[in-house]
């Protein structure tokens, strides 16, 4: 089905829904690289005007990537709930935007309709929204998950403590981990990107974190971000695996490039569940995504990068994840050129994930060859804090020495908590107070060698 819109004396024609969505997207370098972007701002406006008039039902009848050739499309269609969709089934994309922003649409309403939304519907409505719209609507929709603590409660924001090391040196990682905990970070998880996929090295890191967690009774969860097949192997060998990690994308071909399928993710999910390591819940999958991954794998099929990204959230949603992380500026300026594009993408991703019922966090980051700097990251951090982000990264000095990119620091987390009044996961906050790291309000106490965590730190480091 084709779509048209006239502006003045000029009529714009869009061959199909896929083209219309791409032309309606805000400007970004990845869509220009893929040759799917609007040729002018006027064409972009025309596409948005046409998109606003498209009934939401259309997305159930016009697949962007054929059902027969893509298992993500099949997942989206087969898992769609007509009952949940019924409440909004009469709306166009433009009407849906107005409904989302209405003062009468609350968290209960957004929760009711989530199973009736497809990624394409959600991507479409985001293209009609200003940044403030994305923030206002996402803030209405908390997504709460539990493993050893509770993440995503309104008024809370968690931090993934990321103590990476370029050679996987266990003592170096342990030192960064202690540093982050003393700044009150780590309630989302302690998550390490290993420098290698050596199973013995991965197991050694898992054992180190688990030994520390048990010794100090830390109510958090660990993850070593290796390929899901390595995690399954580690589980089979008896390693203490908490969260199961995998990078995912929005098309079957892009996921094949990661060496995964829905069936393999199901196997990993069941392996994680079999360990029964959660204490307050059993959300245990940790997924990472990022706009541009499908394009970089030549697996986007002409779909714009943001819509491809939102399709990845449908994959995540299938497996009841604990955390989903859009690593927003990591892939590089070929996909998100500058701070403005990174900011917009981060707000889009958070809004779209939350609308689908996914526990969204964001690695607020950029590579050193992007037209961005730490001021851009400060802006996005503040905006996402207002929007109700579930978690951010905590990295020593905001500079990851293993992955070689810039993110957010332990101090950045303190800043956003302070200015927005955001608390940590309640179980973790109680632990920090018991360790004399924070007071009852969650504020850091002055460091003292007599704090329980520091008193035994040297002895523990000697065992690492």
Q: Which residue has the tokens 């805000």?
A: 26
139 Cβ neighbours under 8 A, 6+ residues apart: 386, 387, 388
Q: Is 402 among the annotated ligand-binding positions?
A: yes
What is the rounded CA–CA span in Å between residue 103 and residue 143? Answer: 19
Residue 363 assigned ligand-binding role: yes
Q: How far is CA 35 from the centre of its chain?
A: 26
380 is in an annotated binding site: no
Task: Convert 277-301 to b/e letters by CB count within 10 Å (16 or more is b).
Answer: bbeebebbbbbbbbbbbbbbbebbb
DSSP string, 77-98: HHT--HHHHGGGTT-BHHHHHH
Structure-block tokens of residue 209: 């974190």
Pairing assessment for the beta strands 285-289 and 323-327 based on DSSP bridges: parallel
Q: Is 160 annotated as a binding residue?
A: yes
Q: Which long-range contacts (CB under 8 A, 24 or more apart) does 265-273 make?
A: 265/228, 265/315, 265/318, 265/319, 266/319, 267/232, 268/228, 268/231, 268/232, 268/244, 269/244, 269/319, 269/320, 271/231, 271/232, 271/235, 271/236, 271/244, 272/231, 272/235, 272/241, 272/243, 272/244
**Residue 9 annotated in ligand binding:** no
Reported as type and span, the H/E element at residue 416 is helix 410-420
Report yes or no: 291 and 331 within 8 Å, Cβ to Cβ.
Answer: yes
Q: Which residues contact 441 (CB under 8 A, 6 or more apart)?
A: none
**Is 194 annotated as belonging to a binding site?**
yes
Query: Is residue 245 within a helix (H) or strand (E), and if so which, with residue range?
Result: strand 244-247
162 annotated among ligand-binding-site residues: yes
Joined tokens for residue 124: 């479409």
Distances (CA, A) of 275 to 29, 131, 345, 417, 444: 43, 41, 36, 34, 35
* Phi, psi (deg, nearest 5) at residue 130: -75, 170
Binding-site positions for substrate: 160-162, 193, 288, 363
Binding-site positions for adenosylcob(III)alamin: 194, 246, 296, 402
Binding-site positions: 160-162, 193-194, 246, 288, 296, 363, 402
């Amino acid at each position: 089905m084709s779509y048209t819109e006239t502006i003045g004396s000029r009529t714009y024609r869009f061959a199909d829904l896929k083209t219309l969505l791409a032309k309606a997207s805000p400007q970004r370098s990845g869509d220009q690289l893929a040759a799917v972007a609007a040729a002018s701002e006027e064409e972009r406006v025309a596409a948005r005007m046409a998109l606003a008039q498209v009934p939401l039902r259309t997305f159930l009848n016009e697949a962007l990537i054929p059902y027969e050739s893509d298992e993500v499309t099949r997942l989206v269609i087969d898992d769609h709930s007509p009952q949940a969709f019924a409440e909004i089934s009469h709306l166009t994309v433009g009407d849906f935007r107005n409904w989302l922003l209405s003062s009468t649409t609350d968290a209960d309403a957004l929760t009711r309709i989530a199973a009736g939304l497809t990624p394409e519907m959600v991507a479409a409505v985001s293209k009609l929204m200003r940044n403030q719209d994305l923030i206002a609507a996402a803030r209405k929709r908390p997504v709460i998950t539990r493993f050893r603590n509770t993440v995503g409660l309104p008024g809370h924001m968690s931090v993934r403590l990321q103590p990476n090391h370029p050679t996987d040196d266990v003592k170096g990682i342990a030192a960064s981990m202690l540093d982050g905990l003393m700044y009150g970070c780590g309630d989302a998880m302690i998550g390490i990107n290993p420098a290698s996929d050596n199973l013995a090295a991965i197991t050694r890191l898992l054992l180190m974190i688990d030994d520390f967690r048990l010794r100090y009774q830390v109510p958090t969860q660990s993850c070593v971000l290796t390929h899901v097949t390595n995690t399954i192997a580690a589980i089979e060998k008896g390693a203490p695996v908490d969260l199961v990690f995998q990078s995912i994308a929005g098309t079957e071909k892009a996921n094949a490039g990661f060496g995964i399928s829905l069936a393999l993710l199901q196997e990993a999910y069941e392996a994680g569940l079999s360990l029964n390591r959660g204490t307050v819940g059993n959300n245990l999958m940790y997924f990472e995504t990022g706009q541009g991954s499908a394009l970089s794998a030549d697996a986007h099929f002409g779909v714009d990068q943001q819509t491809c990204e939102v399709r990845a959230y449908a994959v995540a949603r299938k497996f009841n994840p604990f955390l989903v992380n859009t690593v927003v500026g990591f892939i590089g300026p070929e996909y998100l050129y500058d701070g403005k594009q990174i900011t917009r993408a981060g707000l889009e991703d958070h809004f779209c994930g939350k609308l689908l019922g996914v526990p969204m966090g964001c690695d607020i980051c950029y590579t050193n060859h992007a037209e961005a700097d730490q001021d851009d990251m400060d802006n996005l951090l503040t905006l996402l804090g207002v929007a109700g982000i579930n978690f951010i990264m905590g990295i020593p000095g905001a500079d990851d020495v293993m992955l070689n990119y810039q993110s957010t620091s332990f101090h950045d987390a303190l800043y956003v908590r302070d200015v927005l009044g955001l608390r940590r996961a309640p179980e973790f906050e109680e632990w920090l107070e018991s360790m004399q790291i924070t007071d009852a309000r969650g504020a850091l106490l002055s460091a003292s060698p007599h704090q329980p965590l520091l008193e035994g730190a040297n002895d523990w480091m000697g065992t690492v």
